[in-house]
Amino acid sequence: MDKKISELKKIVATSDQIVAFTGAGFSAESGISTFRGTGGLWSKYDPNIYANINIFMQDSTYYWNFFRDERYPVIKKAKPNDGHYALVELEKRGKIYRVITQNIDGLHQEAGQSDVIELHGSTRKTNCLSCGKTYTIDETYKLLQKELPPKCSCGGNLKPGTVLFGEPLPQVALDMASLASKNCDLFLVLGSSLVVYPAASMPMIAKKSGAALVIVNIDPTPMDDIADLIFRESASKVLSKLI
């Protein structure tokens, strides 16, 4: 264990363009339940009803009920964990090139991270489908208590800032993430099982471009074979030891 940490320290010492790629496992320690698997959020709420773009456009009340009862209280309660703060510390040391996240909770920014690419959008904002006006999560929650579905001041319908099922990922974020993967010298996977596209492709891009690949995840991933170093434990613990 300690031997692996010193190996990681060596890799980090010679890297100054690190991409940290975070997934659901990274936020799990902040009390945000994972989506997939037993006990995951999607075993309670079928995402093809509660978070599907086509259903949402027909009848958004499923989503907004889910937002009000499940998403909002969890996000409001969640606090960044040691892993989030460790990444902020690495950024202060000039080590971090980009943080790419599959998470939608905004906890990296709350911890103070300045450069975050959100592949699946953010649950902290919503925007009006008619005029484009954006609302914070608290403003949205207030509007939601007045009427369901919540309406913009212009009368238009609001849409969550997250990518819903059936929606493409935001192209700008995807392009930035691919570029970062290509230009980094260390690609650090933190709490992602790398099974959902495009998560699976980015470590490959990094590795092909000559970067080191370190994977920190409780479960095995499809990219383990090409990793330089693998930790089967919590990302926050490994990062805390690292810094």
Q: Which of 84, 120, 124, 159 is catalytic?
A: 120
Q: Kindly report the three-state secondary structure assignment for every residue of the chain.
A: CHHHHHHHHHHHHCCCCEEEEECHHHHHCCCCCCCCCCCCHHHHCCHHHHCEHHHHHHCCHHHHHHHHHHHHHHHHHCCCCHHHHHHHHHHHCCCEEEEEECCCCCHHHHHCCCCEEECCEEEEEEEECCCCCEEEHHHHHHHHHHCCCCECCCCCEEEEEECCECCCCCHHHHHHHHHHHHHCCEEEEECCCCCCCCCCHHHHHHHHCCCEEEEECCCCCCCHHHCCEEECCCHHHHHHHHC
Tell me whether residue 135 or residue 187 sits nearer to Zn ion (CB atom).
135
- 152 scored as a contact of Zn ion (CB under 5 A): yes
Q: Min. distance of Cβ 150 from Zn ion in angstroms?
A: 11
Q: Min. distance of Cβ 170 from Zn ion in angstroms?
A: 20
Tell me whether residue 17 or residue 127 sits nearer to Zn ion (CB atom).
127
- 158 scored as a contact of Zn ion (CB under 5 A): no
**Between residue 108 and residue 137, which ones bind Zn ion under the rule CB under 5 A?**
128, 130-131, 133
Q: Quick check: is 84 catalytic?
A: no
Tell me whether residue 23 or residue 161 sits nearer to Zn ion (CB atom).
161
Among 40, 47, 121, 156, binds Zn ion (CB under 5 A): 156
For Zn ion, which stretch binds (CB under 5 A), given 57-65, 99-107, 155-163, 191-199? Answer: 155-163
Catalytically annotated residues: 120
